[in-house]
């Protein structure tokens, strides 16, 4: 899925000339965590977060009286504290790429651009929601994991066993297994009623299935010699 499908397009923006008090009022009013800062030509010039604003309210200045603090914060403009070097993405960026950018840059929101125009914003909450949906997370699903050799046909072997017994795989992802470079972990989500039957079938076909956390994985590792 691409960012353009899930981005927020009803944008709340603020002028770089706005005060911190005004910015905080906007964040509280709209229940958002980030404000996009745009100039008079609607061009993106920065971003400011609720976290940025809270840092100022929690600064040593809060030892002042309420009146003195309000007076001080009215003198500080958004442009003075906004992040000016803004990481952006396009509508064609994939969700997983957006998640990677957020994680590697330790940020929680990305403005979305199209032909140098600001068209949306996506947050870490949006990305998490899509990824959970992609892996089939739901109340009535079960998760099983199968450790397999990193080889052509491993996914086909597991899926065909379940297909032949009319067990539907709701989602399947492949993850490398830490400390075991030649082994992958196939994580499957199935309907709750299919879970026990799938485990029994895979065990019967010499696949060892994980249904819970185990500290020692050695009994579940495939034989790399075969």
Domains identified in the chain and CATH numbers: 3-132 (3.10.580.10), 136-220 (3.30.70.260)
154 in Cβ contact with 148 (< 8 Å) = yes
CA distances for 86 relative to 31, 101, 113, 119, angstroms: 22, 12, 11, 15
- Per this entry, what is the length of the chain? 226
3-state secondary structure of 43: coil
This prediction has a pTM of: 0.74
82 in Cβ contact with 18 (< 8 Å) = no
**Band (131; pLDDT cuts 50, 70, 90):** confident
* Mean pLDDT, rounded, for 56-76: 64
pLDDT of residue 75: 78
Query: Average per-residue pLDDT in the chain?
Result: 88
Q: What is the pLDDT of residues 162-205, one digit of tens each?
A: 999 999 998 898 988 888 889 999 999 998 889 999 999 999 99
Pairing of strands 141-149, 209-210: antiparallel
59 or 151: which leads in pLDDT: 151
The tokens of 104 are what? 């590697």
Q: What is the pLDDT of residues 81-105, one digit of tens each?
A: 899 999 999 999 999 999 999 999 9
The tokens of 60 are what? 């040593």
Percent of the chain with pLDDT over 70: 89
């Amino acid at each position: 899925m691409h960012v353009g499908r899930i981005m927020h397009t009803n944008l709340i923006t603020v002028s770089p000339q706005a005060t911190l008090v005004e910015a905080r009022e906007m964040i509280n009013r709209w229940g958002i965590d980030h404000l996009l800062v745009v100039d008079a030509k609607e061009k993106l010039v920065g971003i400011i977060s609720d976290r940025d604003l809270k840092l100022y309210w929690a600064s040593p200045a809060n030892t002042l009286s309420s009146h003195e603090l309000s007076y001080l914060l009215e003198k500080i403009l958004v442009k003075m504290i906004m992040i000016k070097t803004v990481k952006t993405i396009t509508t064609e960026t994939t969700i997983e790429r957006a998640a990677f950018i957020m994680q590697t840059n330790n940020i929680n929101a990305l403005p979305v651009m199209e032909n140098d125009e600001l068209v949306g914003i996506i947050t870490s909450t949006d990305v998490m929601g899509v990824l959970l949906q992609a892996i089939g997370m739901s109340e009535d699903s079960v998760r099983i994991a199968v450790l397999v050799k990193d080889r052509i046909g491993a996914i086909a072997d597991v899926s065909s066993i379940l297909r032949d017994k009319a067990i539907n795989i709701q989602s399947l992802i492949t993850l490398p297994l830490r400390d075991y470079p030649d082994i992958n972990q196939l994580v499957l989500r199935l309907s709750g009623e299919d879970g026990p039957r799938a485990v029994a079938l895979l065990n019967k076909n010499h696949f060892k299935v994980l249904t819970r956390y185990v500290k020692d994985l050695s009994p579940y590792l495939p034989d790399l010699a075969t």
